[in-house]
Structure 1
Amino acid sequence: MGFLENKARARLFYRYFSELYDTINPFIWNEEMRDQALEWFGIEEGDVVLDVGCGTGFATEGLLQHTDEVHGLDQSDGQLSKAFAKFGKTEQVKFYRGDAERLPFKDDTFDALWSSGSIEYWPNPVDALEEFRRVVKPGGPVLVVGPDYPESTVFQKLADAIMLFYDAEEADRMFTAAGYEEFEHHIQQRKPGTPKAITTVARVPGGEDEAAAEEADAEVDSDVGDDAIEA
């Protein structure tokens, strides 16, 4: 487990890093990457969206271009104070201090959930992904952005010592273990030579498509049954 995969240490880190976050972040995760991820996310006007690990509100700003009801959650007071300064007074976003692994919301509260730049600090990622599935309505999208595992052996050792870095195979394992059946991964990069992000878009089981498929299967079974009776 990496040094920052500890909630107390991560909070302490962001108490100071929040002052520099908006300056450094565009060199790693910029508007173009965010907007591409928003296209994959596919939310619509009127959707109620939860932004987990909202930080200073960079992703929140993008989400507000698509819907007017966004809820932001973060464990860092420093990050939340920056986000609240941007959006809190306009009542565009409701903010909560909370833990991704124990979300303070009822089942099926949100239409969609976004989390960028947060999974790398979770001690138990599968627990958080299960929580995401719990609070999002069946059929809703869950998008998670994390740091892609480096190819260099030297950087792999450094990455493992700091926080969670993972590849598509590990993402498959985590999302499957958390109960997702439908998901896809995208690798994003600001430009060659810069850090890569792995963006996963998953679908909470039990939506309209699944219900339609079950209905179609039932009709097929019924037809087969009728033919058997007639024979």
Structure 2
Amino acid sequence: MGVLENKARARTFYKYLSKVYDQINPFIWDERMRDEAIAMLDLSPDDKVLDVGCGTGFATEGLLEHVDTVYGLDQSPHQLSKAFEKFGKFGDVRYHLGDAERLPFKDDSFDAVWSSGSIEYWPNPVDALAECRRLTKPGGKVLIVGPDYPNSTVFQKMADAIMLFYDEEEADRMFTKAGYEEFEHHIQQSRPGSPRAITTIAEVPE
């Protein structure tokens, strides 16, 4: 398990990262990539969407271009405080401080569940993926964006020491174990040579 696949250490990490997160993030996960991924959900304005690990609200902002209300959840109060500055506490985003592995919502609560840049910090990603499936209505979609496993052996060792990186084969294993039957992976990249994202979209059976 990587250093940051520990909830307390991850919260401390984001306490400081939240100060510069919006300046760093576009070099790894930019608006074009985000919008391409959101388009995979085929959202309608009245869809109820949960953003798991919403952070400072980068994905939330894109989702609000397609739906009227987004539910944002994060374990870091420091990240959420930055999101409050963007959207306010009582606007189109409804915030929850919580854990991806124990999501505080009833079964079949959402038309779609989104998570980007969060799975790499989940100590038990299969449990969290199963939670996302539990919350999604039959026929709805779950979209997860995580870091693709580096090709270099040196970077692989560094990556494994820090947090979860995974390839399509590992994604197959995790999603299957979490109870998904239909899903597909897409590799996204900001620019040649930059870190790659693995974006998985899964359907919840009706």
TM-score tier (shorter): over 0.9
Q: Counterparts of 1:186-225 in structure 2 under 5 Å?
A: 186-205=186-205, 207=206
What amino acid maps onto 1:41 in structure 2? L
Partner of 2:164: 164
In structure 1, the partner of 2:8 is 8
The corresponding residue for 1:215 is: none
Partner of 2:118: 118
Determine helix, strand or coil for the equivalent of 1:5.
Answer: coil
TM-score, scaled relative to structure 2 = 0.99
Identity across aligned pairs (percent)? 74
Q: CA contact under 8 A between 2:89 and 2:95: conserved in structure 1?
A: no
Q: Which residue of 1 aligns with 2:129?
A: 129
Secondary structure class of the residue paired with 2:197: strand
Q: Distance in 2 between matches of 1:105 and 1:88?
A: 22
Q: Determine the C-alpha separation between the residues in 2 that align with 1:133 and 1:13.
A: 28
Mapped to 2, the partners of 1:45 and 1:182 lie a distance apart of: 25
For residue 138 of structure 1, give the secondary structure of its aligned residue in structure 2. strand
Q: What CA distance in whole angstroms lies between the structure 2 residues aligned with 1:194 and 1:60? A: 23
Structure 2 gap segments, 5+ residues each = none
Q: Which residues of structure 1 form unaligned runs of 5+?
A: 208-231
Structure 2: distance between partners of 1:137 and 1:36:
23
CA distance in 2, matches of 1:178, 1:89: 33
Greater share of helix: 1
Aligned pairs for 1:46-195 (under 5 A) are: 46-89=46-89, 91-195=91-195
Say which structure, 1 or 2, has more relative contact order (CA 8 Å, 6+ apart).
2
1:43: Cα distance to partner?
1.3
CA contact (8 A) 1:88 1:94 kept: no
CA distance in 2 between partners of 1:203 and 1:83 (Å): 29
Please give the alpha-carbon distance, in whole angstroms, between the structure 2 residues aligned to 1:70 and 1:46: 10
The Cα shift of 1:89 comes to 4.4
Higher percent of residues as strand: 2
Q: Secondary structure at the match of 1:139?
A: strand
Residue type of the alignment partner of 1:123: P
Q: Superposition RMSD on alpha carbons, in Å?
A: 0.7
Given that 1:144 and 1:200 are in contact with CA atoms closer than 8 Å, whether structure 2 keeps it comes out as yes
Amino acid at match of 1:39: A
Give, as a single letter, the amino acid of the residue that structure 2 aligns with 1:149.
Answer: Y
Give the 3-state SS of the residue equivalent to 1:137 in structure 2: strand
**Number of residue-to-residue matches in the alignment:** 206
Query: Are the equivalent residues in 1 in contact too, given 2:55–2:83 (CA < 8 A)?
Result: yes
Deviation at 1:85, TM superposition (A): 1.2
Task: List structure 1 runs of 4+ shifted beyond 4 angstroms.
Answer: none
Distance 1:19 1:147 in 2: 22
User: Tell me, what secondary structure is at the counterpart of 2:49?
Assistant: strand
Deviation at 1:90, TM superposition (A): 5.5
Residues 130 and 179 in structure 2, CA contact (< 8 A), matched pair in contact too: yes
TM-score normalised by the chain length of structure 1: 0.88
